[in-house]
A and B are shown apart, each in its own frame.
Chain A
């Protein structure tokens, strides 16, 4: 990049080379990838032994899918021009329903159903508060997060639910099992595959489906969307319902992986998820976003936490490093293409 291309007027040129056109269209995802590669290089130089060892990545892949299930819908929410701070409690309350059902003898697959229904219902409620009632999504979802977590606390009085027998269930084997003899990474966590499939589904919905397209248009300009006959409220509520589904899957997966449900399940997801979405290149102002970029963002955030320890640094530097990566990557995205609004 020369200074000339940065200062020239942002007229789009028809691209003769298809590869360059592809990179240009997906520049936000590519810059997220670049950030990841730089981090990888730094960590590998600091501790080559650890970061060329597959076990390090298996550790990351154990927890990463849980955040992918909330990062992908969050891209939709942010692109629609809203925010959701209530999903950690949704993760907690839906996985509580799942755990309680399994505890009382439900087949785990069947227990998924009420959990998913509750997640979708919460999406409808939160979405309606933001649209029909007209509350600010920042404040309304903050309130919902306290409210739902409060219900969990009142209902359980802090008592966790343990599942020592979880590994023997079919649901665990399908959703959270391991694959023996997987290339490079032995004992590969099967939920990483589900996570990647979820990202692929999110990409198709966001970029190739009516739903994702309308989410972006509504976030770009709700007045234009209304004038062209898009039901803005319905599209936004649908995005919150998608978030409810993702949060439920994240919660259930967390219970399966940990073989335990805590009243705090989901709490720790809030800030890393938001960081992942923005580090990955989805801008805060709505209208556009990148599912793949933000998923790489989730990888970056998970990678930092594991990487810091593995690189031999103390855990005390994690937050500092997280903050540094967030700021630097936002600066990177800022200069990577013009902002139109």
Chain B
């Protein structure tokens, strides 16, 4: 049994003339935390949207547990494969309740497609307790627009928790979060790994990324320029130095 959970082979995606992701190959193993880093416009978010099924790649192959994905790669297929994504924009409908947001697109339905409102409420309540919604002010019927940034992030994470992610993807999970909230998100990632899930996350803060990740993938202008285990990089400063080098090399030989 291989330890590979997800493998991308020669993935390319362009928007018009822009090659957002160019011939990317990478592996995410079971129960590891991978930090995806790179400058603005390196293609990190595009790569994550491909993994989560929002974008279908122009070319290349996706393997889930060594099985090749046939046909169009979609969000539904990603969900089915156990890939849960906390998108950068949290993917919330702010005029709606916490419960409705958690089950967005995957409502718990009974007969005739009718939603089991009470069941959704109870599940949402349990999840809110689990991720530590300490504030007693909120119930699953609270409208998301009334929540703070960290609490909204909590709703997006609760969603990933309910559907038991095998690969949890977080796009900039800690931007606009307070220090305590950031720590909570990191604890959550570590707990997921403890349970045997894998985590892929984007962070702008390389020092944070260095602390928590087992492995790093560095993207630059749509291509993977480096993949390294933490053991191969002695410090966060070293990681920053690598990134600077790649950026400089890119400037010297554009394209």
Residue in A closest to B53 when the chains form the complex, CB atoms: A229
Name the contact of B114 in the complex, choosing from A208, A221, A225 (C-beta under 8 A).
A208
Q: Number of residue pairs across A and B with beta carbons under 8 Å?
A: 101
Q: How far is the CA of A196 from the CA of B74 in the complex (A)?
A: 40
The size of the chain A interface, using a CB distance under 8 A, is: 30
Contacts of A230 in B (CB 8 A): 104-105
B92 at the A interface (CB under 8 A): yes
Report whether A11 and B104 are in contact in the complex, using a CB–CB cutoff of 8 Å: no
Contact residues of A between 201 and 222, Cβ < 8 Å to B: 204, 208-211, 213-214, 216-217, 220-221
Report whether A214 and B105 are in contact in the complex, using a CB–CB cutoff of 8 Å: yes
Q: How far is the CA of A204 from the CA of B96 in the complex (A)?
A: 17
Report whether A217 and B104 are in contact in the complex, using a CB–CB cutoff of 8 Å: yes
B20 at the A interface (CB under 8 A): no
Report whether B54 and A227 are in contact in the complex, using a CB–CB cutoff of 8 Å: yes
Q: How far is the CA of A204 from the CA of B111 in the complex (A)?
A: 13
Q: How far is the CA of A227 from the CA of B115 in the complex (A)?
A: 21
Contacts of B54 in A (CB 8 A): 226-227
Report whether B74 and A229 are in contact in the complex, using a CB–CB cutoff of 8 Å: yes
A13 at the B interface (CB under 8 A): yes
Q: How far is the CA of A224 from the CA of B91 in the complex (A)?
A: 4
Q: How far is the CA of A208 from the CA of B76 in the complex (A)?
A: 22
Interface of B is mostly: loop
Contact indicator per residue, chain A 13-33, by CB within 8 Å of chain B (1) or not (0): 110000000000100000000
Contacts of A227 in B (CB 8 A): 52, 54, 75, 85, 87, 89, 91
Contacts of A228 in B (CB 8 A): 75, 91, 104-106
Contacts of B145 in A (CB 8 A): 10, 338, 340-341
B137 at the A interface (CB under 8 A): yes
Name the contact of B76 in the complex, choosing from A209, A213, A229, A338 (C-beta under 8 A).
A229
Report whether A221 and B75 are in contact in the complex, using a CB–CB cutoff of 8 Å: no
A288 at the B interface (CB under 8 A): yes
Contacts of B100 in A (CB 8 A): 213, 217
Name the contact of B139 in the complex, choosing from A14, A226, A288 (C-beta under 8 A).
A14
* New A-B contacts (16) at CB < 8 Å, excluding given A213-B115, A220-B95, A227-B89: A10-B146, A12-B139, A12-B146, A14-B137, A221-B93, A223-B89, A224-B104, A225-B93, A226-B54, A227-B54, A228-B75, A230-B104, A287-B96, A288-B95, A340-B94, A340-B143
A residues in contact (CB < 8 Å) with B: 10-14, 25, 204, 208-211, 213-214, 216-217, 220-221, 223-230, 287-288, 338, 340-341
